Amino acid sequence: MSKVRRQLLIGHLLVLGAGALIGWVYGETATGLLVAALIALGWQLRQLLRFEAAIRSHSFGSLKYGDSVWSQMYSRFSYQRQRAREYRKNYRRLLKEVRKSTNAMPDGGIVLNQDFEIVLCNKAAQRLAGFRRKKDRGQRVDNILRDPAFGAYLKSGDFADGIEIGSPLTENGWLLCRIVPYGADQMLLLIQDITERRRLSAMRREFVANASHELRSPLTVVSGYLDTLVDDSEVPDAWRKPFEQMRLQTTRMNNIVAELLELSRLEGAGAAPTDEIVDVCGSLTAARKSMQGSDGSASVEVECATRAQLTGSTAEIKSLIDNLLSNALRYTPSDGSIVLSWRVDDDAARLSVSDTGIGIEEEHIPRLTERFFRVDPGRSREQGGVGLGLAIVKHILERHDANLVIESTPGHGSRFTCLFPLSRIAVAEPVSIADDS
């Protein structure tokens, strides 16, 4: 038993004992006991009222000093209250700091609840997208950011990537919006001003397109003359080889220019059309027919598990297949084999080009779709490679909401799989696996 409890018990026993003793002396033990009990109760009541008054006036004065149970209670209560006050002060200070730092952020931050309603936002959100701190509280965020693409982004529930939308405030402004879920049901919408970034990338694109365009005309003239000279029987033999070389190099330059122009066009374009139907299986068969070379090239087979058609650009899907197949032919020895396949699974549609060629070391795989990246630049150049084919493939896939998955084992072969979302499938008629040779 603690000291305080013991004191309280002994104190009360003493009072009751004294009352009983005095009562016994006067022959009224019970009355003495009752009077003593009333005195003890009165004292406790008085302490209780003092305690209540002290709480009300927020002051315990000297009451908290002493050994009695009440003093102990006063002192404990006063200590807890002081601590709570300090906590509150610290919490307010912290809140002020958080508010100050979020307001100093150059990016907009908006806290949303699970129904995408605005809980609070910082100053940058007001500046970048016109959110009003008090008036918009409780509003759904897509009432403020009305771009349909943003609405679709919220609906999709897939917030792994952000979405670029036009600014609701300025005509040429662009914003990158990204939702970051946190806590139980809260979400943070981050808004970044990407107007400058987009302007610079448009400038770069335009520069590359203009430079390529300007190079085209002189190259056509030079190629024309070289074609004539190579075929001219009056040209001395000593000049024949240099002219052949020059023609080869101008053809290469023409290819580079054409591919750079194609890349600029793809980068500047939005999503691929959804009202054009692409017969993937037919395109694979046509590519096989037109590209399978002479006896010196690997065999090519087409495996269509479905006749499902895609919505998108026929020309671009053809260019994608041509790029992947020409790579496979270039990097697969003549006794190897290449399979072009098309199938629709539960999660995605898969167009893949597999070969039994030289394969690619794992460390190079993430860089393959970079412009001008080649594992072996000498070999690629020798075989007419420009280093832009897979960059073009990547952009075509992006325009079709699709991804490229590359699997490869050096010395054994590679598989390039294009994963199209099922939303891009126009007609899904499963047919038996067939080689359309």
The residues of the shown chain that bind ligand ADP, judged by CB under 6 A, are 323, 327-328, 331, 355, 357-358, 360, 368, 373-376, 380, 385-391, 414
- Using DSSP's 3-state secondary structure scheme, residue 60 falls into coil
What number of CA atoms fall less than 13 Å from residue 278's CA on the CB side? 26
Closest to ligand ADP by CB, 76 or 367? 367
- Using DSSP's 3-state secondary structure scheme, residue 388 falls into coil
Distance between CA atoms of 272 and 274, rounded to whole angstroms? 6
Q: What minimum distance in Å lies between the beta carbon of 433 and ligand ADP?
A: 23
Closest to ligand ADP by CB, 39 or 291? 291
Closest to ligand ADP by CB, 11 or 336? 336
Residues 6 or more apart whose CB falls under 8 angstroms from that of 337 comprise: 298, 299, 300, 301, 355, 356
Closest to ligand ADP by CB, 111 or 358? 358
Write 282-290 long-range contacts (CB < 8 A, 24+). Answer: 283/314, 283/317, 283/318, 283/321, 284/321, 284/340, 284/341, 284/342, 284/351, 284/436, 285/436, 285/437, 286/318, 287/318, 287/321, 287/322, 287/325, 287/340, 288/325, 288/340, 288/436, 288/437
Q: What minimum distance in Å lies between the beta carbon of 351 and ligand ADP?
A: 15
DSSP category for residue 110: E
Q: What minimum distance in Å lies between the beta carbon of 302 and ligand ADP?
A: 17
Q: What minimum distance in Å lies between the beta carbon of 199 and ligand ADP?
A: 28
Residues 6 or more apart whose CB falls under 8 angstroms from that of 276 comprise: 311, 312, 313, 314
DSSP category for residue 368: T
Closest to ligand ADP by CB, 283 or 319? 319
To the nearest 10°, report the CA torsion of 228, 231, 232, 237. Answer: 120
Q: What minimum distance in Å lies between the beta carbon of 329 and ligand ADP?
A: 9
Q: What minimum distance in Å lies between the beta carbon of 212 and ligand ADP?
A: 16
Distance between CA atoms of 122 and 434, rounded to whole angstroms? 59
Q: What minimum distance in Å lies between the beta carbon of 210 and ligand ADP?
A: 23
Q: What minimum distance in Å lies between the beta carbon of 380 and ligand ADP?
A: 3
DSSP string computed for 405-430? EEEEETTTEEEEEEEE-GGGEEE--E
Closest to ligand ADP by CB, 167 or 319? 319
Q: What minimum distance in Å lies between the beta carbon of 324 and ligand ADP?
A: 7
Closest to ligand ADP by CB, 374 or 400? 374
Closest to ligand ADP by CB, 61 or 333? 333
Closest to ligand ADP by CB, 78 or 414? 414
Using a 10 angstrom Cβ sphere, with 0-12 exposed, 13-18 middle and 19 or more buried, the burial of residue 203 is: exposed
